Amino acid sequence: MPTSSPTAPLSTPRAAAVEVLCLWATTHTSIDLLFHSAVAALADIDRGLVKTLVYGVLRQKEYLDAIIRRFSKHPLTKMKPRTLMTLRIGVYQLLFLSRIPESAAVNATVNTLKAAGQPAWLIGFANGLLRTVARSRTTLPTPEQLAEGDRPLLNHPAWLIERWRAQFGPDTTKAICRCNNSEPSLTLRVNCRRTSRSVLQALLEKSGITAANGFYSPSALIVKTFPGGVASLPGFAEGYFQVQDEAAQLASLLIGPLPAGSKVLDGCAGLGGKTSHLAELLPADGVIVAVEPETRRFGLLRDNLKRLGHHELVTPVRSDLQSYAATGPQPFDAILIDAPCSGTGVIRRQPDIRWNRQPEDLAQYQQTQLQILATAATLLQPGGTLVYATCSLEPEENQTVIHRFLERHPQFAVSKATGLLPEPARRLVDGAGFFRTSPADDLDGFFAARLVDQRTL
């Protein structure tokens, strides 16, 4: 197949979706970053369609390719990224988006090739294939049917499926993949310093937005369907909530209980999801330091803290943890390390992760995680609490990290997480005392260990 010509204009949602997916295929940059950059100039309704197409294609990539192979005389491996991504977007609309008319799904998608200056024969090829798929829709196998075949097609790379089968068994692996291949609900954590769950729920329902209490976290509200952006939800500007999965909400609870005047460190603050939760849990006269080195995330961290009303409780520091430790801060009573990781527990929210990661990445993440934990240990007050968390399902980044850390730092011991969690969530603690969730629980995949420094002052 010919190479892609000049970049297509981003004036239409389908053109933007093609460009985002082409950039991802050639750079493997985070799809979230590529998406937000591409849709900046589009209207909200068009942004929603771009996200549906891009994230949907990544969730169903293997299935879409299986369908395209049925009707294409050209091997997919010979196709250029623009051609293949355009076909995937077209087939996705035809088989998954029933609200889009067939004519729009085909014509508007083919028009992205015309706008990109592709040759007439390629435009005809794409048009013919998509129309054939449209005519055959009722006879094509569903993703569920292909997932139950002799060689199950689960829309995940083989190496990851093999790992999960060995760890969780075949049935749970299928459940994890099934969850990852569907769009997750939007989960909010209510800011208890500004409102209550019942008040926010009433505010949402007044605007016609259905929300239900979470299953595990007392601060969680689950929004069933909302097509707009998060910033347009009632209560966003007022700081009534933060978007955060229930698993992440529960992990933050392991930092407690905190006495008055506690000094807390969030050593890998990111956008501030857990930082802001810690601020809500902070006792009287407590303080929080939030460390984040990356410029974009640091800016969003400050914005979120201000919107939620926590900017006077939290001191954000733009630095990595090791550099911050070198400044000689006073020891902390509690430290949270939400460590950089492979992210295999949040694939349902970031579907590109499954295709971006490789098995050898796990050892690299583990090395970083151990270094961060070792640095955190030097910043903790004797008798203090150190919570280590990841959004990974992989033992190398979770249990193994903790075991190796304890071997090197025998003054620490695991403190079982059960008693700090709400009753419905206590079943999520395993026999070793670790907090563990997976998409099979209809939660993000999380791991957390609560470690206590047994030295005395």
Element (H, E) at 449: strand 447-453
DSSP 202-231: HHHHHTT--EEE-SS-TTEEEE----S-GG
In the chain the domains, ranked by start, together with CATH numbers, are 13-147 (1.10.940.10), 186-243 (3.30.70.1170), 246-453 (3.40.50.150)
- pTM, rounded to two decimals: 0.94
Residue 187 phi/psi, 5° resolution?
Answer: -110, 130
- Cβ neighbours for 104, distance < 8 A, ≥ 6 positions apart: 93
CA atoms within 13 A of residue 204's CA, in its CB half-sphere: 28
Long-range contacts formed by 397-402: CB under 8 A, 24+ apart: 397/339, 397/341, 397/342, 397/362, 397/365, 397/366, 397/369, 397/447, 398/434, 398/436, 398/447, 398/449, 399/432, 399/434, 399/447, 400/366, 401/339, 401/366, 401/369, 401/370, 401/373, 402/434, 402/449, 402/451
| Of residues 117, 114, 52, the one with CA closest to residue 89 | 52
- Cβ neighbours for 364, distance < 8 A, ≥ 6 positions apart: none
Residue 39 to residue 33: CA distance in whole angstroms = 10
Beta strands 287-291; 263-266: pairing state: parallel
pLDDT (0 to 100) of residue 9: 42
The Cβ of residue 172 has, within 10 Å, a number of other Cβ atoms equal to 16
pLDDT (0 to 100) of residue 151: 82
The Cβ of residue 34 has, within 10 Å, a number of other Cβ atoms equal to 19
Residue 259 to residue 252: CA distance in whole angstroms = 16
Contact (Cβ atoms closer than 8 angstroms) between residue 445 and residue 346: yes
Residue 199 to residue 186: CA distance in whole angstroms = 18
pLDDT (0 to 100) of residue 457: 64
Supply the DSSP symbol for 78.
G
Contact (Cβ atoms closer than 8 angstroms) between residue 201 and residue 221: yes
Residue 20 to residue 24: CA distance in whole angstroms = 6
Residue located via tokens 């020891």: 331
What is the pLDDT tens value at each position of the chain, 457 positions in all?
A: 433 333 434 679 999 999 999 999 999 999 999 998 888 888 888 899 999 999 999 999 999 999 999 999 999 999 999 999 999 999 999 999 999 999 999 999 999 999 999 999 999 999 999 999 999 999 999 999 999 887 889 999 999 999 999 999 999 999 999 999 999 999 999 999 999 999 999 999 999 999 999 999 999 999 987 877 899 999 999 999 999 999 999 999 999 889 999 999 999 999 999 999 999 999 989 999 999 999 999 999 999 999 999 999 999 999 999 999 999 999 999 999 999 999 999 999 999 999 999 999 999 999 999 999 999 999 999 999 999 999 999 999 999 999 999 999 999 999 998 999 999 999 999 999 999 999 999 999 999 999 999 987 6
- Total length of the chain: 457
Residue 175 to residue 87: CA distance in whole angstroms = 28
Contact (Cβ atoms closer than 8 angstroms) between residue 201 and residue 209: no
Element (H, E) at 110: helix 102-115
Residue 456 to residue 384: CA distance in whole angstroms = 9
Catalytic residue list: 391
Residue 240 to residue 156: CA distance in whole angstroms = 36
pLDDT (0 to 100) of residue 369: 98
Contact (Cβ atoms closer than 8 angstroms) between residue 155 and residue 181: yes
Q: Quick one: tokens of 407?
A: 């071997």
pLDDT (0 to 100) of residue 380: 97
**Dihedral (C-alpha) 426, 429, 432, 433: value to the nearest 10 degrees?**
-60
- Cβ neighbours for 68, distance < 8 A, ≥ 6 positions apart: 76, 84, 87, 88, 91, 129
Contact (Cβ atoms closer than 8 angstroms) between residue 321 and residue 369: no
Maximal C-alpha separation, the chain: 77
| Of residues 323, 247, 317, 240, the one with CA closest to residue 280 | 240
Supply the DSSP symbol for 141.
P
Task: State how far the alpha carbon of 245 is from the alpha carbons of 151, 219, 250, 288, 349, in Å.
Answer: 33, 11, 9, 22, 10
The Cβ of residue 260 has, within 10 Å, a number of other Cβ atoms equal to 9
Residue 387 to residue 258: CA distance in whole angstroms = 13
